[in-house]
Structures are given as C-alpha cells and as structure tokens.
Amino acid sequence: MEKVKTGTTTVGIVTKEGVVLATEHRASMDTFIAHKVAQKLYRLDENIGMTTAGLVGDLQVLVRYMRAEISLYRLRRGMLMPVGAAATLLSNILNESKFFPYYVGLIIGGYDFRGYHVFSIDAAGGAIEDKYASVGSGSLFVYGVLEDRWSDDLSLSDGVNLAIRGINAAMRRDAASGDGISVATITKDKGFVELPEEEILKRMKRMKLK
C-alpha cells in the first residue's frame, strides 16, 4: 500500500455561472510533510474536473481510469460525458473494490446539458450531489465558511473567492493542509480553466487573507 497519503482539503462549489474546484498542495505521511506541491486538482475533460484526497497511488490510478473512460465515451458517442454519468462511473469503480478498497475521498464537478453539478464520492462508492462539498482533513473548517457565505445567486468570481477563503481557513487550522492553493473554474463558455498562482495571490491580498 502506498504510504504517502494526502491529509487534504478540497472543495467544489456550484455557482450560477459555473463550477469552482479548489485544493491545497500539502501531502503528509502521519506528522511528516512528504510533499509541498502535491497535485490534487485534475482536468478529466473540458467539462469535468476532479479533486482528490487519500492515498496518492490510489488517486493517480483513478485519475487514469477516469480520463480513459471519459475519452472512450466521447469517441463512441460523439458527445461529452454528463457529470452525473462520470460520478456514477467513478462510484461503480470504487464499489467494485470491496475487499481491497481505494482509500480516497473525491469531488467530481462540471457542466452538461442539465446545468452545473458537484458530487462528493466516498471510498465505498457513495455519490451525493449538492450545491457545495468539501472532502479531506480540513473539510470541517471549509464547511463553516461555506454554510455562512454560499447563496443561490453566487457569481463565478465570488465562488472563486469563497473557495479560496474556505481553503485558507483550513490551512490555518489543519496541520495536514497547506503550501498553497489550486483553483479551477468550469463553465460552458470556456470549459476547464485553472487559475494562475498570481491571480489567486491577488485575490487573497484583496480579501486580506494570510
């Protein structure tokens, strides 16, 4: 079993203009900080992204599975895979591994012909759609921010700020989370777009976050 696991904070938010996915960068092994630039935010297709928490080896395998299956779906059907279908596919992969389960917590987010969606998916394959979700060791701190500030009319830009604020709160209180923030937006117009680090730092400065 892969020893290095991510003591992680991840978040997915639905806004009226798109989906926001965000993570921090730290990978830990018990109390040891194993990596400071761990990737936990992935593009699966132009309309779907995923955040990851758990064992690094398990997560990397699942990302490869999902990218391959989503590409095959597009080739065979000539259309983008719906977000719900991607969540069901991932759920089935996890559910089939009862005896040797993947040690993961995941968020799938994106858009399709039905609108914008975020699903949280647990290690047993349970998939739940919601307007926002957070997974990982710092998720309790993120939920405190989301419960206070999320609304149905949230703009995409405000959603980005909310995700940054939530991850920042977790990094300040959860020792297994830290070393920077990754943020991506997914919209019908522009698809999956990862924000540059400079943009995230500017937003943090405007919000007076440390």
User: Hey, which residues are catalytic here?
Assistant: 8
Closest CA to 175 of 52, 54, 39, 30: 30
φ/ψ bin of 13: left (φ > 0), alpha (ψ from -120 to 50), beta (otherwise): beta
Q: Going by C-beta distance under 8 Å and a sequence separation of 6 or more, which residues neighbour residue 104?
A: 52, 53, 54, 55, 58, 59, 62, 94, 123
What is the distance, to the nearest Å, from the Cα of residue 159 to the centroid of all Cα atoms in its chain?
14
Q: Write the DSSP symbol of residue 31.
A: T
Q: Are the CB atoms for 202 and 208 separated by under 8 Å?
A: no
Q: Is residue 72 classed exposed, middle or buried when 0-12, 13-18 and 19+ CB atoms within 10 A define those classes?
A: exposed
